[in-house]
Amino acid sequence: MSKIEIYHNPRCSKSRGALEILKSKFTDNEIQEIRYLDNPPSKERLAEICSMLACRPFEIIRTGEALFKELGLTKDDNKTDQEWLQILIDNPKLIERPIIVYRNRAVIGRPPEKVNELIA
């Protein structure tokens, strides 16, 4: 069985909820818990995740995060996908959470029960 990855922030209730669902269905050895604020994914991995989510990098940005505005970013910015990916890598706090990856598919666990779509 391949490992299930969860990119999350343990301080986030949605992340904790998604991890709890995973732990009810998988053993600890089957779950790769990635605290993305401490260990952000590479630009390449984040691009892969966006592909699995069938979305563009901008769509996984937490635009309501104060940092988004502090960086002078807006929803109307005309940036390329590569530029948005770099912004996410440089500022992992902007990455939407939790992201769960399993068998070359991914979901954003909001609400946490979305995890069930991936593991059903």
pTM for the model: 0.94
The per-residue pLDDT for range 51-67, each reduced to its tens digit, is 999 999 999 999 999 99
Q: Is 12 a catalytic residue?
A: yes
Active-site hit among 6, 12, 40, 68: 12
> Are the C-beta atoms of 113 and 106 separated by less than 8 Å?
no
Tell me which CATH homologous superfamily contains domain 4-119. Answer: Glutaredoxin (3.40.30.10)
Per-residue pLDDT tens digits for 69-92: 999 999 999 999 999 999 999 999
Question: Where in the chain are the domains?
Answer: 4-119
Q: Which two tokens stand for residue 68?
A: 């988004």
Spatial contact of 9 and 15, defined as CB atoms under 8 Å apart: yes
- Burial of 24-61, coded b for 16+ CB within 10 Å and e otherwise, reads eeeeeeebebbebeeebbeeeebbebbebbeeebbebb
Task: Report the C-alpha gap between 60 and 108 in whole angstroms.
Answer: 9
